[in-house]
Amino acid sequence: MKSIFTFILLLVITFSSGYAQSEQYLMSSRKLEVRSGPGLNFNTIGEIPQGTQLYVMSSNYGDWSAIQYKSMNGFVVTKHLTEDSRIADAEAAARQAAEKREAAKRAAAAAIAQAQAAKRAAEEAARRAIAEAERLTREAEANQAKAIADAEAAKRSKDAAARKALADTEETRKALAAAKLRASKGLDDVADSTPIESTTPSYGSSSTTNTPKAASISVTREDKYSNWEKKTYKSGATPKSFSFKGKFDYKLDNYLKIKVGKNTEVVVKMYKMGNTPKDDQLVRVTYINSNTTQFIRNVPEGEYFLKIAYGKDWRENIVDGKKYGTFTKNALYEKSEQILNFNTVKTSKGINVPSYNLSLDLLPSGGGYSTSGQDDISEKAFNDN
């Protein structure tokens, strides 16, 4: 095919004149005799029926034109040819159809992009609503549990007070009965009789009678993390309790810059968001010491949220066959509300690679510490992947 195309191209170059490109396809206005040369003195080599389309290679032969019809090349009288616009019309129609097709493709691509953006926005809104509902549920359950505990404590206190009151009343009744019995038997005068003493302790009494005394109370504080292994990590390390190797895209020169304040150390877990929460993928786990700035680099493209552990004195243990890690002092855990979009963006000036800065610290609060965020989670939720 390549050699044939080159040959036709050479013919067009060699014979181009007389007719414009759009007029090279003409049609016979009557039955034509095709001769071997430009004149009646040349032999007839074929015939072309009236209304037949043919290709004019050149019209520089006086009253004759060099033509090609099927596989036959020859000469015909020029005045018997008329312009055939069907080819030009077909080509114009083809161009218009191609332009409409490209416009439709662009419109479809834009509609798909808008639909995908709307879907992502809806999914994110739903996820945030679910997270808020879960937080409110946890808060309500905690308040309910506290109310139940307070009610049970009040009931126990009331029952204890009632039992003591009954015991005191019974003791008084028995003492009065004994006094009446002694009086009825003619014993010592009531004024000279032995004083009636209660068998229960009387605070502030000057009585010197030998009554039982409680032993001194010994209270010690139990450290539930005493058998957990204390760990020390350098900033940027991944705690061994997670048994995890990070995921990197070394083609992207992006980063998440995290500055940690003086009141805490942190462990940051980066999750790449999937279509549903079960499709979320853990990408990085990074330990960062206090008063330190750490760069998390070469983050794969995607949208991310963070789980963050705050505190000091990091310890690790195996519980029910699973490795756990936790801070034992001033421990707080939260899930970030902000979504970090690490998708690259193509612009007229090139590719924009997003990066982010993040500052973390604990704030003094009522003798303890707290974060400025509201998405607090449990220690178990932080350790779960």
- What is 2-84's CATH topology? SH3 type barrels. (2.30.30)
CA distance 109 to 117: 12
What is the tens place of the pLDDT at every residue in 18-62?
Answer: 443 445 778 777 888 999 999 999 999 999 898 888 889 998 999
319-373 confidence digits (pLDDT tens): 888 888 999 998 999 998 889 999 999 888 888 889 999 999 988 876 666 666 6
pLDDT on residue 195: 45
Which pLDDT score, from 0 to 100, does residue 223 have?
Answer: 72
**What are 242's two structure tokens?**
């997670």
Q: Is the pLDDT of residue 186 over 70?
A: no
Pairwise CA distance, residues 305 & 38, whole Å: 83
Q: How far is CA 9 from CA 26, 60, 90, 271, 353, in A?
A: 18, 18, 21, 61, 49
Among 15-19, 109-113, 320-324, which range has the highest average pLDDT?
A: 109-113
Answer yes or no: is pLDDT of 135 > 60.
Answer: yes
pLDDT at residue 363 in the model: 84
Q: Is 138 exposed, middle or buried (0-12, 13-18, 19+ CB in 10 A)?
A: middle
Residue 238: other Cβ atoms inside 10 A: 17
Residue 173 in tokens:
């009744």
Give the chain's mean pLDDT: 82
Report pLDDT for 280: 94
Q: Where are the domains of the chain?
A: 2-84, 100-167, 229-383
Q: Taking the mean position of all CA atoms in its chain, how far away is CA 353?
A: 18
